Amino acid sequence: MATTTKAVGDLFDLLERKPDLLVDADLTVERDGVAFTVRGYDDFVAVDLPSLGAAVAIWRDRLVGGPDAAAALAAAGLTAEIRVRGAPVARLGVDAVPSSLAKRLGLGPVQLFLDGALLAITPRRG
């Protein structure tokens, strides 16, 4: 764990000396047989997943903890939004407004969108 902490600390040191990042991306990524899109526009990155289960799996398997990921994004001047079938379910980074529910769940400084989560679990019509 000390290696991860040191690596994250080194990342923060590096980011603090750099101007904000700008992202321009339009990718389709496949992980464990699940395809999803990553689109970046300036200081905003949207990750759109096909299901809430895929979003939870990616969150559980992340290399950096939620608070560290949110802090790294904020330090870089970036915001990431996690979407399921186009509906926003979470946001972290500089423009996120941390949810008290996320803090109680131990997710760190993450903004949760309950209406987006409800849409994410609603079966698609036709």
| pLDDT given for residue 16 in this prediction | 65
- Tens digit of pLDDT for each residue in 12-34? 666 666 667 788 889 999 988 88
Distance (Å, whole) CA 64 – CA 47: 17
Q: Is residue 9 part of a domain?
A: yes
Q: Check: CB of residue 40 under 8 Å from CB of residue 24.
A: yes
Q: Is 126 within the bounds of a domain?
A: no
Q: For the segment 108-119, what is each residue's pLDDT rounded down to a tens digit? A: 778 999 898 888
Nearest-angstrom CA–CA distance, 17 and 123: 46
Tokens of 36: 């999803």
- The boundaries of the domain holding residue 104 are 2-121
The structural domain count of the chain equals 1
88 occurs within a structural domain: yes
Segment 77-99 shows an average pLDDT of 92
CA angle, residues 120, 53, 117, in degrees to nearest 5: 25
Size (the chain), residues: 126
In a domain, 72, yes or no: yes
Q: Tell me what pLDDT residue 65 has.
A: 64
Two tokens, residue 56:
């939870």
